[in-house]
A and B are shown apart, each in its own frame.
Chain A
Amino acid sequence: MKIAVYAEADKGSVTTETKELFALGGQLAGAYNGELQGIVLGSCCLAAGEQLIQLGAKTIYTVEHPLLDSFETRLYARALIALFQKHTTPDLLLFSHNQTGRDLVPFLAVQLKAGACLDCTDLTFNEKTGLFHGVHPFYGGNVVGLYTTNNKPQLFTMRKGGRDCTYQSVANNTEIIPVSIELNSTQILARVIKRTFAPPGEDKLEDASVIVSGGRGIGGTEGFALLRELAAALGGTVGASRSAVDAGWIEAERQIGLTGKFVNPDLYIAVGISGATQHMAGCSTAKTIIAVNRDPESPIFRRAHYGIIADYKNIIPLMIKKSQRQKC
């Protein structure tokens, strides 16, 4: 059984999400006697390939082509299909549920006449049927379902989940197989003109260990300045619920929730957030959740570990002072 991981690298080094996928893939391969493979597309292939060996991959396919430098859905789908035609199709192919995963996987699934389940929190294997099952929450997180697909490869995109990445078994006789494919520039249907990154100093939410998050109760952009102060004092970063983003009080990159980022901090401070399922879905794996909310009956107090019932405008400045004193 071949378990393949679609690996991604950022400026030559493998992303945390990819590492999580290898940890998961490695676990499954170990448990069910499978072979762990890695697939890398793009010109950063070689460096990435070396790193993947350390993550336990037995075979690594590197598909290098100048046109693959920039992600484009159909091009990448063509590349993978060509890869599977040259080399055997894996039984399982794992992706991260990120922009690539969302863009590429359903497109690829259809063109492979296979299926894909997106946004899975976990993966299991049914030995009787020989099929992998993905765990995917739906109805805004109110219901959790177990899904499977019919044909090979079985495609799943995995939600970033604070998975334990310490599992490693460096395989023997690892092979890096370069794959060359024909790609035509006329096949490109979309072209990246520009990339803008979040303002410097704003840590990536997915990697943050402390997050101070604001919701509908913040009331405006000034409130978020306060939250940023607290985040800075605690050595963390600021996040938001969809209400706050839609109201224009903070950039969309800060949105945490079902349709935003999934975060896994040690400490999550929810300020003026009601605790609706769609938001909690993004932060429920946090180790400690503290809620600050004016409404004593707010559902957030059923999802948090600690709570203060008060107006955040009075509480947060006090918390900032206290945190700053702690540091010294």
Chain B
Amino acid sequence: MLSRELFWGIQYGWLTYLLALLTLAVLAHLWRLKVKEWRNGKDEGADLDWRGKVCKTLGHLIGQRLLGEKKAVGIAHLLVFYGFVVLFIGTVLLMLDSHLDQHFLKGYIFVSYKLILNIFGLLALAGITGLIFRRYILMKAPGESDGQNFLTLVLPFLVLLTGFLVEGSRLAIAVEDNPGWQFWAFPVYPVVEFMRSTNLASLGWIHTLFWWVHMVLAFTMITALGWTNLSHILSVPLNLFYQAWQQPGRLREINLAEKDFGVSGLKDFTRTQLISVEACVNAGRCEMNCPAFNSNKPLSPRALMMAMKQYGDTESPLVGKQINEEALWACTTCGACQKKCPVLANPVEKIIDLRRYQVMALGSLPPGLQAPMLSLQKRGHPWSGANLSRLDWARGLDVPLAAKKKEFDVLFWVGCTGALVERNIKVSRTIVELLRHCRVDFAILGQEESCTCHMARRLGNEYLYQMNAKKNIARLQQYTFKTIITACPHCYHTLKNEYSLEQEGLQVVSHVVFFRDLIKRDLLQLKQNSGKKLTYHDPCYYGRINQIFDAPRELCTLVDGSLVEAAKSREEAFCCGGGGGGIWQDDKSGDRINELRVKQLLENNVERIATSCPFCMQMLESALSSVGRGEVVVRDVVELLMEQLKDR
């Protein structure tokens, strides 16, 4: 009956228990320092749903979020990850088996056990070899400050290698006691044969040597969880646990009365935020997808997170020293980094927290953003120079006002941009005409509407946001209606996810979904398509952040059968550059994000670009003009609908 003896051929095997204790002590010490830093962070209060979080965490780990981009690397990591998981379970099973009276690792169970371990060990070795090859041969990684990375890769490699050597040398010596080893220990076949053929097998001390080397390496690797990038083995699952319910585009709620103005130094972050900073593994998936980085702005979410992770000082201000001010303001809050991060580190939330301190505590704003910010503060909208009221756009349309009607079905939230910027006013007027056409019982707030302050919030002015949110919610509560529709994804996101209106029993619906549903109910009759090649640009706050992809495409297909998908669409959509204050900033360094996007959209020789966001509209039209393609038109999806309306 095949079985496995613990500490076979090893004297003083009990030393491993001592080593283990020592290892754990060292690791605990190293991590104690980290944890102490985390505890410096703000306390957020208890969250009780740990069961759900555990499930989500396991889901993330098993699903291996890293697999998304850079497939080869993802697969290699997958092999290493599962390899070590299986080997770890195998070691635990062996420990249990040796201490139980009833040994279970025998016979067929033993054979399967060994086979699985060998297969996974081999796969892990292949994976880690692939990663080493990639880093040091393909990428020619710099040698000098690479120490940590080197150990991160080389330690597991050596542990696996020596593990096989131990197995190989043991089997070389005790080959008769292990019949069928060629099957279930096939990876070590070359080792065994070599040792037997050279009579090294008789040298029992080789096995002992390998065994102790393997042990020491293994324990060193475990301590390395405290002082190399292998720490991600602990920090990532921990972070996945705390971030289990992380939602796209969600920001940290802060209490201004307690003078929480955001983040200046690391100690101002909450504990879970510090854990997520620690969890950053420098993967760079964020950077690959960041519109600012891809247009040569000084912002890299990866560099930002690593700068914070590596900063030893928890007190000193981060911005200006560790973090470039221009980089901080280059973020468009598109959420691509958040979506692509394999460890759920969430750079956007941190950037906004840093912006908050800059604005609310220091009063420091880039010059281009001062005018819209001051306009928001003074007159309740960022469009200084508009010289219009919130009702001027509707002149001649006789739009019903909520204050007069009091009770109605649908509230059309116009938004600042839809009311004050000439190009976007056209879309608002179109929506009113469509609503009338479908006999929808609607009203607008008119002068009573105040900015949702989505932008203000993302520019760091939480105070303005909270004040206006209160004002708006109180205003909305004065009227009786069931649904709010809006044509601005930024307003949509804030009304739906930040104002918590759904708790009041109100439904917040995007204009694309609303009109798609009206078509489904046959309330809008459309003519056939116009044949001008069309593509759709996903606004970040409808698409990636709120997962509205299909409704606008259904609408586009109805008006124009020749809808083509742009490169980088849906989840992969490249931001237009307008969010996070981008629309008001002159792109001083690098290329223009909107020009990059427009070039992507034009790749299919399209004649029209459809979108569903007033900021995207402005950015794309401006870009088309500056790249000399002014003949391509940009239309909101509802404008396309209007053009195809049957009875016109």
Q: Do chains A and B touch in the complex (CB under 8 A)?
A: yes
Q: Which residues of A contact B (CB under 8 A)?
A: 216, 243, 274, 276-277, 294-299, 311
Q: How far is the CA of A297 from the CA of B426 in the complex (A)?
A: 9
B20 to chain A, nearest CB (A): 68
Please state if A298 and B422 are interface contacts (CB–CB under 8 Å).
yes
Q: Looking at chain B's contact residues, is the secondary structure mostly helix, strand, loop, or mixed?
A: helix
A299 touches B625 (CB 8 A): no
Closest chain-A Cβ to B515's Cβ sits at a distance in Å of 23
- Interface residues in B357-408 by Cβ distance below 8 A to A read 385, 387
- CA of A299 to CA of B385 in the docked complex: distance in angstroms? 11
A105 to chain B, nearest CB (A): 30
Bound CA span A228–B283, Å:
53
Taking the closest CB of chain B, its distance from the CB of A137, in whole angstroms, is 16
Question: Which of these, A274, A294, A297, A311, contacts B385 with CB under 8 Å?
Answer: A274
Query: Given A274-B387, A297-B423, A311-B626, list of 6 further CB < 8 A pairs?
Result: A274-B385, A276-B385, A294-B625, A296-B422, A299-B387, A311-B630
Q: Give min CB distance, B91 to chain A, whole Å.
A: 67
Contacts of B423 in A (CB 8 A): 295, 297
Q: Mark B402-427, 1 if CB is under 8 A from A, else 0.
A: 00000000000000000000110110
A179 to B589, CA, bound (A): 66
Binary flags per residue of B617-648, CB closer than 8 Å to A gives 1, else 0: 00000000110001000000000000000000
CA gap between A159 and B425 in the complex, in Å:
37
Which 9 A-B pairs have CB atoms at the shortest separation, nearest pair first?
A: A297-B422, A276-B387, A311-B625, A295-B422, A274-B385, A294-B625, A297-B423, A298-B422, A276-B385
A296 to B425, CA, bound (A): 12
Minimum distance in angstroms from A310 CB to a CB of chain B: 8
What separation, in Å, do the CA atoms of A49 and B158 have in the docked complex? 106
CB distance from A274 to the nearest CB of B (A): 6
Q: When chains A and B are docked, how far (Å) is the Cα of A241 from the Cα of B11?
A: 91
Q: What B residues does A295 contact at CB under 8 A?
A: 422-423
Which A-chain residue is minimally distant from B387 (CB atoms)?
A276
Looking at the complex, which one of B385, B625, B626 makes contact with A216 (CB distance below 8 Å)? Answer: B385
Closest to A294 in B: B625
Instruction: Determine the distance from Cα of A216 to Cα of B426 in the docked complex, in whole angstroms.
Output: 23
**Chain A residues with CB below 8 A from B425, complex form:** 297
Interface size class of B (residues with CB under 8 A): under 10
In whole angstroms, what is the CA distance A18 to B385 when docked? 36
What is the distance, in angstroms, from A302's C-beta to the closest C-beta of chain B?
A: 11
Inside 8 A of B626's CB, which chain A residues have their CB? 311
Give the CA-CA distance A297 to B385 in the complex, in Å: 14
A298: chain B residues within 8 A (beta carbon): 422
The CA-CA distance from A217 to B457 in the complex, in Å, is 28
Find the A residue at minimum CB distance from B424: A297
- From residue B628, how far is it (CB to closest CB) to chain A in Å? 9
Q: Can you list 8 contacts pairing A with B, beta carbon distance less than 8 Å?
A: A216-B385, A274-B385, A274-B387, A276-B385, A276-B387, A277-B387, A294-B625, A295-B423
Residues of B within 8 A of A297 (CB): 422-423, 425-426
Report Cα–Cα, A56/B626, bound state, in Å. 58
Docked CA distance A298–B422 (Å): 7
Closest to B367 in A: A247
Chain B residues, Cβ within 8 Å of A299: 387
A residues less than 8 Å from B387 (CB atoms)? 274, 276-277, 299
Residues of B within 8 A of A274 (CB): 385, 387
- B469–chain A nearest beta-carbon distance, Å: 30
Across the interface, which residues of A come within 8 angstroms of B625, CB to CB? 294, 311
Residues of the A chain whose Cβ atoms lie less than 8 Å from the Cβ of B385: 216, 243, 274, 276
Measured between alpha carbons, how far is A237 from B625 in the docked complex, in Å?
28
Bound CA–CA A300/B363 (angstroms): 35
Residues of B within 8 A of A296 (CB): 422
Which A residue's beta carbon lies closest to that of B388? A299
Q: Which residues of B contact A277 (CB under 8 A)?
A: 387
State the CA gap A274–B387 with chains docked (Å): 10
Contact residues, B214-230 vs A (CB, 8 A):
none
Q: A243–B425 Cα gap in the complex (Å)?
A: 23
Q: How far is the CA of A190 from the CA of B79 in the complex (A)?
A: 85
| Chain B residues in 8 Å Cβ range of A243 | 385
A307 to chain B, nearest CB (A): 14
- Chain A contacts for B630, CB-based, 8 A: 311
Cα–Cα, bound, A294→B626 (Å): 11
Nearest-neighbor residue (CB-CB) of A299 within chain B = B387
Complex formed: what's the CA distance from A187 to B523 in Å?
83
Query: Which of B387, B625, B626 gathers the greatest number of chain A CB atoms within 10 Å?
Result: B387
- In the assembled complex, the CB of A30 is this many whole angstroms from the nearest CB of chain B, namely 42
Which residue of A is nearest B426, CB measured?
A297
Expressed in whole angstroms, the Cα–Cα distance for A276 and B386 within the complex equals: 9
A313's nearest neighbour on chain B, judged by CB, is B626
A276 to B388, CA, bound (A): 10
Q: Which of A216, A296, A297 has the most CB of B within 10 A?
A: A297
Bound-state CA distance A216–B383 (Å) is: 14
A233: shortest Cβ distance to chain B, in Å?
25
A167 to chain B, nearest CB (A): 38
Q: How far is the CB of B514 from chain A (nearest CB, A)?
A: 25
In the complex, A277→B386 CA distance in Å? 11
Question: CA A311 – CA B627 in complex, angstroms?
Answer: 12
Instruction: Give A276 to B385 CA distance when docked, in angstroms.
Output: 8
Distance in angstroms from A202 CB to nearest chain B CB is 27
Nearest chain A CB to B240 CB, angstrom units: 47
B490 smallest CB distance to A (angstroms): 21
